[in-house]
Amino acid sequence: MAQLTYREAIARGIAQEMRRDESVVFLGEDIAAAGGVFKGTVGLLEEFGPVRVRDTPISEQAILGAAMGAAMTGLRPIAEIMFADFFAVCWDIVVNEIAKSRYMTNGQMTFPLVIRSGNGGGLRFGAQHSQSVENWAMMVPGLKVVVPSTPLDVIGLMAASIRDNDPVIFLEEKALYATKGEVPEGDVVDTLGSAKVLRQGSNATLIALGNMVPRALQAAEELASAGIDCTVVDVRSLVPLDTQTILREVSATGRMFTVEENPRLCGWGGELASIVADEIFYDLDGPIVRITTPHIPLPAADALEDLAIPSVTRIVETVQKSMNS
């Protein structure tokens, strides 16, 4: 086992697949010589050279246009959009071209394309560089959406995404780049559409994604000391969604709490709440509770940003209040 940071796992995951398959190419702003603005692609240029690892101009439309063309003609491109907020600049090509073209060609073309991007807040980057956009992406038919929370999941889900024949939005949590985790030696390959049960409990189920996963785990430990035993589920993949694991774990405890960094309105937890209410309503012992960021632009001020994004304290207090009411 090796200890890797989340950012080191990104480079390892990409390198693993580039060594395996010469059709994998990588392009984006500052990903080559600079090693990425978040230092997540260090060493890739040196190993694979400027033909397969290419710096691009500052143009999200050009990056994704080139990546789409590469995918249509037999390559398996990885494209980086530096901040997930910048999807707003190139959303047309993602939604109306990349997501639809396999369908509109009746399967004559596949689009094995991974679009990776730094997602989420907590680093004082302000309203235009701190958004959690997973709910933007999951609502678009034709896109797969992945959000890893650990270095191990970064590598395994990156491999699964690159090998997939459909476009995948791969959202990396900026607040987790410096976190560490154990990764085994050798190739690591995971499966899209599989959630992970990280902690087993009997009283309530916390369902979390990305940066909210370690917070949910910490909250579960604090709640345990107060007599509330929580299961923690890491969703990992929003599309495809592992409904079987989620329904099983919620059914076992009878109580469901989602922990979401995205703004509350139209967040992924609302979709999960709808599925649970449709499928296992009579297994519930209380209302479904969503713990979210409010429907506001994220502030840059540290105290206000910390107040907006779900914290361990807010998770604990919300669960206690709901369970004791």
d(CA 186, CA 26): 22
pLDDT of residue 190: 98
d(CA 312, CA 215): 5
pLDDT of residue 117: 98
Contact between 202 and 253 (Cβ < 8 Å):
yes
Q: Which residues have C-beta within 8 Å of that of residue 162, sequence separation ≥ 6?
A: 14, 17, 21, 24, 76, 78, 112, 114
Hey, what are 84's tokens? 């997930």
The more confident residue out of 19 and 324 is 19
pLDDT of residue 89: 96
- Is residue 325 scored above 90 in pLDDT? no
Hey, what are 132's tokens? 């959690």
pLDDT in tens, 52-63: 999 999 999 999
pLDDT in tens, 114-158: 999 999 999 999 999 999 999 999 999 999 999 999 999 999 999
Residue 259 DSSP code: E
Contact between 162 and 78 (Cβ < 8 Å):
yes
Cis omega (within 30 of 0) on the bond before 240? yes
pLDDT of residue 1: 82
Hey, what are 228's tokens? 């509330």
Strands (DSSP E) contained in 122-203 are 144-146, 168-173, 180-183, 196-199
d(CA 323, CA 128): 36
Q: What percent of the chain has pLDDT over 90?
A: 98
- Is residue 301 scored above 90 in pLDDT? yes
d(CA 102, CA 120): 29
Mean pLDDT of 102-110: 92
Q: What is the pLDDT of the chain when averaged over all its residues? A: 97
- Nearest CA to 144 out of 114, 123, 172 is that of 114
Spot the catalytic one: 12, 116, 129, 144. 129
pLDDT in tens, 215-272: 999 999 999 999 999 999 999 999 999 999 999 999 999 999 999 999 999 999 999 9
pLDDT of residue 6: 98
pTM, rounded to two decimals: 0.97
pLDDT in tens, 148-203: 999 999 999 999 999 999 999 999 999 999 999 999 999 999 999 999 999 999 99
- Let me know if 129 is a catalytic residue: yes
Long-range own/partner contacts, residues 28-33 (CB < 8 A, 24 or more apart): 28/55, 28/56, 28/63, 28/79, 28/80, 28/81, 28/82, 29/55, 29/56, 29/57, 29/58, 29/63, 29/80, 29/82, 30/55, 30/82, 31/55, 31/80
* Domains in the chain, CATH or no CATH each: 2-183 (3.40.50.970), 196-324 (3.40.50.920)
Mean pLDDT of 309-318: 98
Mean pLDDT of 4-9: 98
